[in-house]
Amino acid sequence: MVEPILKWAGGKRQLLAEITARFPADFDRYHEPFVGGGAVFFDLEPDAGSINDLNSRLVTLYETIRDRDPEELIAENRSHEHDEDYYYDARDEFNELHRVDDKSPEQRLREASLFVYLNRTCFNGLYRENNSGEFNVPVGRYANPDWVQADRIRALHEVLRDTTIRNGDFAYVREAATAGDLVYFDPPYEPVSTTADFTDYHAEGFDRDDQRRLRDLAVELDEAGVSVVLSNSPPVAELYEDYEAFAVDLVEATRAINSDADGRGEVAEVLITNVPEAEQRRTTLSAFE
């Protein structure tokens, strides 16, 4: 098990046991089209497969960790300062780099390093973009934040070595996954109230039509012999109620990252899967206890 390098709203560290218990005991390749902070992927440490995210900065970070000597990113991380003025200068530089279309290798390294630094020093570990795609989270209050993350970078470099990393729509997995593979979907959640919003991590958002499009893809994958596990908020459960292949379970998760303090604590989530209970890890492992 490898620890994620980023704090991430909606991250699945609190639900790892519940999610992986519903995975099939055996599968070929693993695909995660909404990888985010990667808690499930890095816990699983799959031998082959793909990860994807719409957030190009996140993809740059993972590609940098996979493709470059880990010591280069570690050294760049050590160049940052624990200072409020420095934080806002770094945030400005991060947003300026985002506007560069064809980045040099050194610009990509710098952007990846700034991402880790800002994530580890911003308010409550949030990642949020405004409508212009600018990261706009204010500085946090930390006594001794660790933005170097040397051990994790070295470990993640090994885990990502044989992983395909993509930056696009989740529908790529229609062609990437084949019978016997496992796909775990963790999309931006359907809001559970008029004030709740898990979609602002990216300027383009994720709406109800996207949730239906994801449901249709999950059905296609099921018909193709691909194992599917999906997490979301309770309102999405109704989209799957007419499909007998999918079981829906309600679970409780702890949320520590939220811009609204009232949104932290225990929240309800749903886990949806087409993996028959007899083939799930929780069933097959318990048979040997």
From residue 199, how far is each of 79, 113, 121, 207, 210 by CA, in Å?
32, 24, 22, 8, 11
What pLDDT score was predicted for residue 248?
97
Give the mean pLDDT of 12-31: 93
CB 225 within 8 A of CB 254: no
Tokens 């003025």 found at: 85
Each residue of 197-222: pLDDT tens digit? Answer: 444 444 456 899 999 999 999 999 99
| Model confidence band, residue 252 (pLDDT cutoffs 50, 70, 90) | confident
| Residue 157 half-sphere exposure toward CB, CA atoms < 13 A | 16
Average pLDDT over residues 244-253: 93
Q: CA 173 → CA 5, 29, 179, 272, distances in Å?
A: 25, 12, 12, 18
Q: How is domain 1-54+168-289 classified at the CATH fold level? A: Rossmann fold (3.40.50)
What is the model's pLDDT at position 194?
Answer: 39
pLDDT for residue 74 = 98
Residue-level pLDDT at 199: 42
pLDDT of residue 256: 54
Identify the bridge partners of residue 273 per DSSP, sorted by sequence position. 229, 247
**Per-residue pLDDT reduced to its tens digit, 67-99:** 999 999 999 999 999 999 999 999 999 999 999
Residue 209 CA from chain centroid, whole number: 21
pLDDT confidence of residue 153: 98
Contacts of 162 (CB under 8 A, 6+ apart): 47, 48
Q: What is the pLDDT of residue 202?
A: 46
Mean pLDDT of 98-119: 97
Q: How far apart are CA 163 and CA 58, in angstroms?
A: 15
The C-alpha atoms of residue 154 and residue 132 are separated, in whole angstroms, by 33
Q: How far apart are CA 259 and CA 63, in angstroms?
A: 28
User: If you average pLDDT over residues 258-265, what whole number do you get?
Assistant: 48
Q: How is the chain split into domains, by residue range?
A: 1-54+168-289, 56-140+149-161
Pure H helices in the chain? 16-21, 39-44, 56-67, 70-77, 84-98, 105-121, 150-160, 173-176, 208-223, 281-286
The residue among 203 and 103 whose pLDDT is bigger is 103
pTM of the model: 0.89
Beta bridge partners of 139: 122
Assigned token pair, 133: 């795609």
- Residue-wise pLDDT tens digits, 40-67: 999 999 999 999 999 999 999 999 999 9
* HSE (side-chain half, CA atoms, 13 Å) at 177: 31
- Better-predicted residue by pLDDT, 131 or 255: 131
Q: In the predicted model, what is the mean pLDDT of the chain?
A: 90
Sign of CA dihedral 124, 272, 15, 40: negative
CA distance 248 to 230: 9
pLDDT digits (tens, 9 = 90+) for 128-176: 999 899 999 999 999 999 999 999 999 999 999 999 999 999 999 999 9
Amino acid in position 80: H
The CATH architecture that domain 56-140+149-161 belongs to is: Orthogonal Bundle (1.10)
Q: Quote the pLDDT of residue 253.
A: 73
